[in-house]
Structure 1
Amino acid sequence: MSDVSVLGLGLMGSSIAHTLIDKGYSVTVWNRTPEKAAPLTAAGGKAAFTAVEAVESSPITLSVVVDSSALVESLGDDIDLTGRTIVNLATGTPADARELERWVTKRNGLMLSGTISAYPKDIGTPVGGVNYAGPLELWNRNAEMLLALGGLSGHVGEVISDACTLDLSMLIFYMSSIAAFQEAVVFAEAFGVSPDRLVEFVRPGLPVLEREVDETVRRVESGDYTTDEATIGTFHHCMDLVWKASATVAARPIISSAARELFALGVSEGRANEIPSGVVPLLRQIRDSSRHS
């Protein structure tokens, strides 16, 4: 019996398995293409012929296959998971996490859902992180091993979908911000400003962005969107200027156009004089009306 099994030996799965082996755990590994297991068996791991064999070899299995559907397909509906814990680390939606939990529970197993906030090279390092959700008692029982995957790892909630929800919410902010900067690079270049000049101009504003994120949370929690500083109307005016300037150089402002549309909605709904986080109630209304339509 191994300490832990790892399913899926792509870049991330292999990094996870190597890290656990390096930290002294006995590890069983499985991949659809068996040759990917060779470097891990050379490092001291044991290769299983099937996913079911891998799961049966350990009390806890970390699944890093492409998604929850691939995990279910690999294990089959007839598997008995009594005495086994599945930790699903595949990127998915909150609904995917809830559905997989029902599937695992129906087969007498236990489950944690995790999201990886790290590149493969960061796994096992102080800057690596895996966020886990699920029953606190189950987390406590396996925390020492799961924390070995990175210094920023931790338990984020007992609701099985919490890790997915937080991860996707973070990606909305993170990836949209990266995309916005990439759009800014193209815009600046069109007017003769190089990327290195742009980044030096943008950099001092990053602490301000962090401050405004915190301010958004405070305003949303209080419901007070009054301000005597920059307003939704101001933000809309600025994005409108970007849109007009982009047209003069045939640039396509995808991200800034979305922001322009959002703040235009705030203006049209009579919230032009509110702090920009005043669009949150409007986005909630759109969400809720869509749910009931």
Structure 2
Amino acid sequence: MTESNGGSRANDVAVIGCGLMGSALARAFAKSGYSVAAWNRTPERAEALACDGITPVRSVDDAVRSTRLVVACMSTYETTVAALKPVTDWEGATLVNLASGAPYEVTVLERWAAEHGAEYLDGSIVCYPQDIGSSEAAVLYSGSPAAWTDHERTLMSLGGSSAYISDRVTDASVLNVGVVGAFYVSALSAYVEAATYVLGQGVTADVLHALTQVTIEGLRKASAEAAAAIVSGEHATDKATIDTYAEAAGAALAVMQDSGQRARMLAAAVENLSTAAASGSGSLGFFAQTTVAAADPAKAV
């Protein structure tokens, strides 16, 4: 394995962690013309990237000291800190962490980076490894404006839909939890549930797909309305009320369950609607569910 010159800035970027996603990041940087060092706890994974023009480095200290931009893609924030502990000199470097975690972990790692003399950006990857480097790929960044100014061009090479969203370092993590976790995963699970029922009743996949596109367009419009209503607190409506939705969704739930479906996602939606109605929001619009979304309203932001 080639060792980098620990005292030089021989590389444009060092990737720490060479799993499926980390390897995709390293390859995308190299494909964009950047000189890339790669380190992994098991050296073989870094060595496997040599054929892509990437320099495998045995020492994480040498990897970090060879560059001004360190992109970490480990499984957790804890493993990231453990991996980087041997690094002796962070002067002039920026750490970009792309692990998934909680917002409080982001602030802890930002503090750790500052204590070690590094600028810090936090990032959330909202695509699959095979998408990295494409125009559709997206990585959301938040944190140090100075670090983003220095490394924007390099980091944007990971995906054409990437963006720097805020100087509040936790914002990328918050969006990952909310949009990817709470929304995308739940919505896709609900669609699998719905499609299982519809296709099981003999509707063709083509017909389902056609109606799905119409529904997604409606959801696109409703999502903008939802955010505006939640911010303003205005939930009066001249459309369907929570009571109306609760009745219709409850009827659909009964039909699906009678057909042998568990319909867990729909059952959860019915529970949310019923809770909102019971709290006195039944005559308001759908988005008034926000008033009962928090288990402890005092902790809601």
TM-score in same-fold range (> 0.5):
yes
Structure 2 residues without counterparts, runs of 5 or longer: 1-9
Between the aligned partners of 1:93 and 1:194, the Cα distance in structure 2 is: 41
After superposition, residues 125-144 of structure 1 pair within 5 angstroms as 125-144=134-153
The residue aligned with 2:157 is 148
SS in 1 for 2:11: coil
| Aligned-pair CA distance for 1:85 | 1.2
Q: Tell me how far 1:41 sits from its aligned partner.
A: 1.7
Q: Deviations over 1:177-218 (max 9, x none)?
A: 111111112222443334443333332122111111111122
Q: Paired residue for 2:297, among 279, 288, 291? A: 288
Aligned pair in 2 of structure 1 residues 128, 202: CA closer, same or farther (>3 Å)? closer
Which TM-score applies when normalising by structure 2?
0.90
What's the counterpart of residue 3 of structure 2? none
Task: Return the TM-score normalized by structure 1.
Answer: 0.93
Which residue is equivalent to 2:218? 208
Aligned counterpart, 1:223:
233
CA distance in 2, matches of 1:71, 1:99: 12
Confirm whether residue 87 of structure 1 aligns to residue 99 of structure 2. Answer: no
Aligned residue among 184, 189, 192 for 2:202: 192
Contact 1:135 1:158 in 2 (8 A): yes
Q: Is residue 242 from structure 1 mapped to residue 221 from structure 2 by the alignment?
A: no
Does structure 2 retain, via aligned residues, the 8 Å contact 1:52–1:74? no
Determine if contact 1:156/1:163 at 8 Å carries over to the other structure: yes
SS, match of residue 269 in structure 1 = helix
Where in structure 2 are the equivalents of 1:101-112 lying within 5 Å?
Answer: 101-112=110-121
Output the amino acid matched with 1:198.
L
- State how many pairs are aligned: 290
**Unaligned stretches of 5+ residues in structure 1:** none
Q: Superposed, which structure 2 residues align to 1:1-293 within 5 Å?
A: 1-76=10-85, 79-171=88-180, 172-284=182-294, 286-289=295-298
Deviations 1:42-89 (A, max 9, x none): 232211112222112211100011111111111227744232211001
Say if 2:230 and 2:290, in contact at 8 Å, map to a contact too. Answer: yes
User: Which shifted more, 80-89 or 268-277?
Assistant: 80-89
Q: What is the percentage of aligned positions where both structures have the same residue?
A: 30
Separation of aligned partners in 1, 2:185 and 2:12: 36
Report the Cα distance in structure 2 between the residues aligned to 1:133 and 1:188, rounded to whole angstroms.
41
Whichever residue aligns with residue 228 of structure 1, its letter is D
Partner Cα distance (1:32, 1:40) in 2: 14
CA RMSD of aligned residues (A): 1.8
How far does residue 160 in structure 1 lie from its aligned partner after superposition?
0.9
Going from structure 1 to structure 2, the CA distance change for 1:133 and 1:124 (only over 3 Å counts) comes to: same
